Amino acid sequence: MIGVDGVAFRTRRGELTLCVKELALLAKSLRPPPEKHHGLRNVETRFRHRELDLIASEETRALFVARAKAIAGIRRFLDDADFVEVETPILQPVYGGANAQPFTTHHNALDRELYLRIATELYLKRCMIGGLERVYELGKDFRNEGTSQKHSPEFTMLEFYEAYADYKDIATRVEALVAAAAGAMGYAGEVDFSRPWKRETLAGAILVRTGVDIFEARDRASLAAAMAQRNLKVPPGGSWAQLVDDLVTKHVEPTLIEPTFLFDYPVELSPFAKRHREDDRLAERWEAYVQGMEIANAFTELNDPDDQRARLEQQRTDAAAGDEEAQPYDEAFLQALEQGMPPTGGVGIGIDRLVMALTGKRSIREVVLFPAMRSAL
């Protein structure tokens, strides 16, 4: 990179140019830049050395500008709706709010084990208990799990919570929020994000696609038999709830291309969601899908401390039986909930996956500037 100082003038042919008086070296370039005509084609190099990808590809630069505009649009939408942006701990003494294994670290000064958060949910609910009736946090979560086209151990998550709202209210707000993000980045893709989005029930979606009625098979043995009868692969081990989750993941999720809400999950799959007002087998929970992947998960939040304590006790039993992703028992959260949390609707939206949907990318690594990679050989 060089800096030049001089006088601007036009040549006899009218071309604007500079009569250089001084020239200075601003930065050395000790390596050759990527070949500009064909671009940077090696995918491994593009992800490991994103700076080279940005140098070589106008499309890559435009993608990350679009991502930034979408996030700015989301913040404007929530700020305009009187939500308060807050920051909660990334290092937590008890992890919770999702089904995932955490990263563990040791704090030398405090001499205790801490965890990188897997979700912001429980701290945001403590804000609700304290009287902040509309809150959101947009930041990093960490889950010690495998990588894939849809999964990264470090990812960006938006969670927001609204007092005196339920999961249906949150669905309407999420439709508007995604529209705001799409508008902010100038979305012009093929998927139709206009409102209202399609709505199905979880049990109905499984029944239509597999012929399995999960509420006729209410224990693991019965559900496994119903799956085997229809030549569906039955994963070894696992609970009834885990088999239901497997049916959704393998047989429902890939079919949901247009934006779709999947409503009313079994209580066993929803430890922090309020029981359904019309069917106590269900929780008031939905997940949103687009292009065959989940992008959001919402509840009418459970605010009965006695019910919440009982469900976390069950999660503790499940953990003792070998469920590595069971919720840990969080006494501090339960004591906070005993102060009283207003009726609340809440949602978590995977920002990386939403950006994938809005930009037509099929891998999460494409929309993360510096994705996690295996060590280079």
Cβ partners under 8 Å of residue 221, min gap 6: none
Is pTM beyond 0.85 here? yes
Domains of the chain by range and CATH?
43-197+258-367 (3.30.930.10)
Work out the average pLDDT over 139-157: 95
pLDDT in tens, 47-89: 999 999 999 999 999 999 999 999 999 999 999 999 999 999 9
Checking if the pLDDT of 377 tops 70, the result is: no
pLDDT in tens, 210-222: 999 999 999 999 9
SS (H, E, C) 316-351: HHHHHCCCCCCCCCCHHHHHHHCCCCCCEEEEEEEH
Mean predicted lDDT score pLDDT of the chain? 95
Q: Measure the CA–CA gap between 282 and 58, rounded to whole angstroms.
A: 48
34 — pLDDT class (breaks 50, 70, 90): confident
